[in-house]
Structure 1
Amino acid sequence: MEIKQKLEILADAAKYDASCASSGTEKRNSRDGKGIGSTTGAGICHSYAPDGRCISLLKILLTNFCLYDCVYCVNRVSSNVQRARFSAEEVVQLTLAFYRRNYIEGLFLSSGIIQNPDYTMEQVVEVARSLREDHDFRGYIHLKTIPDASPDLLARAGRYADRLSINIELPTATSLSALAPEKDSTAIRISMARLRERIDAGKDKSTSGKRPPKFSPGGQSTQMIVGADATDDKTILTTSAELYGQYRLRRVYYSAFSPIPDASPVLPLQSPPLVREHRLYQADWLMRFYGFESHEIVTSEQGMLALDMDPKTAWALQHRAMFPVDINRAPKAILLRVPGLGVRNVQRILAARRVRAVRLDDLVHMRAPIQRMLPFIQLPDHHPGATLDAASLPARVSNISAAPQQLGLFI
């Protein structure tokens, strides 16, 4: 099979993996004339999709052959798809060729399972080793690791990759057992724990003050499929909070289930609303940067996030007694809970009010979303009055905070 044909098959097969944002990499300077591909030097072009995904990586599978029969996966062993396989050297040469043409800034590499997990992981690691050691490649490398692979192979992967990820696949162990019987949720979490230990060890200084060798400096991430089972948003966010707390993940990615050819009858016939994926990312952001706990974000009895408004606005409507918030007196933790106020503008407000009282015009100059904020804040020249208690407020703020039409991942 020609390289071009393999690339078409294996790049298309990799499109279902959302966790490919290049962030948190260590700095590798290529201005000394040695090595290529630094993601931090001048002249590197980053392209991002509207939902934040990095699209300047060569994102491919080593192969779409797979021994497993996960019913939600288009590459499962029982799937009737065209198969292809790269050699490690072919992936290396493709990465270098694409980089030299300024198409990419690095590599995202995953693979189906062939022969056994150790053999597959060894091939994936060989790609990264060859790029780093044989070609002095200093660009970003993200490897999708295999939980059942030996700890030694995972340790080798962390030496060469900027980020490692292990897909938890589904929010609960019950769903994983039903839809991916060859995968073990316990094994996945054990591998995550091992990676966390090595990542933490790579950051600790010894008694002599020397740092140990870097290990996956961009940390680890994972991905969950949303809508392939009946799990509600509250359970999904609870699982995400556990993963962040126990394994210090850099990101949990949410991928709305997409119907696949020759699908199993146990799968839904339609994908979930794409805005549900969007709301989960917003809720995830609230947990990571705004001080929200997973159990307080979902306010409905059904355990689902509201689709017609963002999670922070929905929470504010359920806790109107906390509002209006006095912008000039409230502590940072409370300001972060005001709908429309982001982390950056909260920092600006805290800095500005040390000098004088913040007024409405100041928020306008900060380009804060005034219409979304007005019902929930108090300023010297603004008080919401009866607006906050009005029965029509939910309808008003839902129109303001409604997400624009979201395109599918493959549109």
Structure 2
Amino acid sequence: MSDRIREKLQILADAAKYDVSCSSSGSQRKNQNKGLGDASQSGICHTFTEDGRCVSLLKILFSNVCIYDCAYCVSRRSNDVKRAAFTVQEVVDLTINFYRRNYIEGLFLSSGIFKSADYTMERMMQVVKKLRLEENFNGYIHLKTIPGALPELIHEAGLYADRMSINLEMPTEIGLKQFAPEKSHQEVQKDLGLVRDRLIQLKDERQIIKHVPKYVPAGQTTQMVVGAHQETDQDVLLMADHHYKTFQLKRVYYSGYIPINQENNTLPAVGSAPPLLRENRLYQSDWLMRFYGFDANEIVDEKHPHLDLDIDPKLSWALRHPESFPVDLNRADYRMILRVPGIGVKSAQKIVQARRFGKIHNDLLKKLGVAYSRAQYFIRCEDSPSFQKELQPQQIRQQIVEKGNSKYVKQLTPQLSLGF
């Protein structure tokens, strides 16, 4: 690798670390004609570093030159940073060489918008096209869609990428107008709709045509910056819920704002840390919407527009709805069992299966993987006391929080004794 390529890689890989939407799953692309890589067999499960970098993908920008001036973006036009850009062949060569050395299992390719949206999207599409057709590369490829690009370019790119994504940037239009006035949610939603409609069309064609080309087999995602504007958690989750239902997204990613712009006084203070706890609560809420049957309006509402940072959103909902508890695990349906704090999807399935062979007792729950110390306040089993004194929601909250804190201190004690 030449010094110039190494310098470009350092610049453009560092600029790409702020995009957290590079998780990959769901692709069924298999190795064909003795090509390189296999997105299906390799599994492509990833871990992330603290700043969001994916350790198993070549995660880079095609270029960090950008015609837009988004206040929260490190690649904004007005930012005084070193600029660089790859050629199409350089990205292809890097991907193949890194893969052959077992450094990566796939490619995550994004870019600043240079010259125009069409020009940028065309260059990125050429990269994935060369990898698939000329290099016979069958590994995982995640391609960022450039907002406002021609539909023909987006459709063609979808034939070669496993996953595509386009960033909403900000949860609200007000925040977007303030910090990224050159962008709009309508433009992003139009491009999301193009991919969604094409997926639906090919799904219908697959019922009557034997061979239909693969098109974005791992679906599409989006990402929002959280904490740069004064949006509420209700604003964030309602926006995510709308896009899940309207555009059939695989994931919505929440990126805690990282203070990188000292010149804009309307942004949060430079000395403040990214809102990682809030980001975590949003992901937990997102999980409830996707796998636990919760509606966004149940998690946050006008009376509770912000998530509780001290307890997880599922426990918060349960404490706000004492009328729904206790849940009789021997009679309740699967949907209601899922809503019990301390019971996950797999544990709820095991409970439903186990009661086919006998009554559910308290001792059995721990064997089924239930967090009994949390769930005990919200359930009734066959051997639960008939006249057990009911605790008030505030008392339950206090006991769970205290147990959580004592557990944390207990885990920390050996480290403290060693001087860490």
Residue by residue over 1:227-271, the C-alpha shift from the partner in whole angstroms, topping out at 9 and shown as x without a partner, is 000000011100011000110000000000000044411211124
- Is residue 361 from structure 1 mapped to residue 360 from structure 2 by the alignment? no
Pairwise CA distance, 1:49: 3.2
In 1: Cα distance, 2:219 partner to 2:95 partner:
22
Mapping 1:105-254, distance limit 5 Å: 105-206=105-206, 208-254=208-254
Identity of aligned residues (%): 47
Cα distance in structure 2, aligned partners of 1:137 and 1:97: 12
Q: Whole-Å Cα distance in 2 between the matches of residues 290 and 399 of structure 1?
A: 26
Correspondence list, 1:39-118, <5 A? 39-41=39-41, 46-49=45-48, 55-118=55-118
Paired residue type of 2:397: P
Residue identity in the other structure for 2:127 = V
Question: What's 1:398 paired with?
Answer: 401
> In the comparison of the two structures, how many residue pairs are matched?
402
The more displaced of 396-405 and 264-273 is 396-405
Structure 2: distance between partners of 1:246 and 1:46: 27
SS at match of 2:102: coil
- Number of the residue aligned with 1:386: 389
| 8 Å Cα contact 1:205-1:211 kept in structure 2 | no
The answer to whether residue 269 in structure 2 is matched with residue 266 in structure 1 is: no
Q: Report the CA distance between 1:210 and its aligned residue.
A: 2.1
CA distance in structure 2 between the partners assigned to 1:401 and 1:249 by the alignment: 34
- Which one is further off, 266-275 or 96-105? 266-275
The partner residue of 2:8 within 6, 9, 15 is: 6
Check 1:365–1:50 CA distance in 2 against 1; reply closer, same or farther (3 A cut).
farther
- TM-score relative to the length of structure 1: 0.92
Please report the RMSD computed on the Cα atoms of aligned residues, expressed in angstroms.
2.2
Distance in 2, Cα, partners of 1:139 & 1:230: 40
Bigger shift: residues 94-103 or 297-306: 297-306
Matches within 5 A, 1:286-301: 286-298=288-300, 301=303
Shift of 1:16: 0.4
Displacement of 1:2 in angstroms is: 1.1
Cross-structure match for 1:312? 314
Whether the 8 Å CA contact 1:352–1:358 is kept in 2: the answer is: yes
Deviation at residue 186 of structure 1 after TM alignment: 1.0
> Which residue identity lines up with residue 117 of structure 1 in the other structure?
A
SS at match of 1:386: coil
User: Which amino acid in the other structure matches residue 217 of structure 1?
Assistant: P
2:27 paired residue number: 25
* Cα distance between partner residues in 1 of 2:49 and 2:8: 28
Alignment correspondent of 1:345: 347
* Equivalent position amino acid for 1:86 in 2: F
Residues 18-47 of structure 1, C-alpha deviations (whole Å, 9 max, x = no match): 1001111123136xx6111113226x6744
- Output one character per residue of 1:149-201: Cα deviation in whole Å (capped at 9) or x when no partner: 00000001100000100100111112111111111221111111111101222
- Show CA shifts across 1:250-297 (max 9, x none): 000000000004441121112453100000000011111111111110
Q: Distance in 2 between matches of 1:380 and 1:344?
A: 21
Contact 1:125 1:153 in 2 (8 A): yes
Q: Is 1:46–1:54's contact at 8 Å kept on the other side of the alignment?
A: no
Gaps of 5+ in 2: 410-420
Looking at structure 1, the residues matched to 216 and 27 of structure 2 have their Cα atoms a distance apart, in angstroms, of: 8
Worse-matched range after superposition: 261-270 or 180-189: 261-270
Which residue, out of 271, 275, 278, partners 1:276?
A: 278
- Amino acid across the alignment from 2:298: E
Q: Partner of 2:60: helix, strand, or coil?
A: strand
Letter of the 1:26 counterpart: Q
Q: CA 1:296–1:75 in 2, change beyond 3 Å: closer, same or farther? A: same
CA contact (8 A) 1:299 1:314 kept: no
CA distance in 2 between counterparts of 1:203 and 1:77 reads 41
**How far apart are the structure 2 equivalents of 1:386 and 1:38?**
58
Judge conservation of contact 1:159–1:215 (CA < 8 Å) in 2: yes
TM-score (norm 2): 0.91
Q: Mark the CA change 1:47 to 1:196 in structure 2 (over 3 Å): closer, same or farther.
A: closer
Q: Distance in 2 between matches of 1:73 and 1:320?
A: 44
Q: Distance in 2 between matches of 1:210 and 1:400?
A: 58
SS in 1 for 2:66: coil
- Give the distance between the partners of 2:304 and 2:392, measured in 1 at CA: 25
Between the aligned partners of 2:303 and 2:184, the Cα distance in structure 1 is: 31
Deviation at 1:119, TM superposition (A): 0.4
What is aligned with 1:408?
Answer: none
Structure 2 distance, partners of 1:94, 1:404, is: 44
Letter in 1 for 2:318: A
Q: How far apart in 1 are the matches of 2:367 and 2:58? A: 40
The alpha-carbon deviation at position 145 of structure 1 amounts to: 0.6
Q: Is the 8 A contact 1:324 1:388 kept in 2?
A: no
**1:299: Cα distance to partner?**
5.8
Partner amino acid, structure 1, of 2:398:
A
Cα shift readout 1:349-369 (whole Å, capped 9, x = no counterpart):
111111111222222112221
Relative distance call for 1:258 and 1:197 in structure 2 (3 A) is same
CA distance in 1, matches of 2:393, 2:316: 15
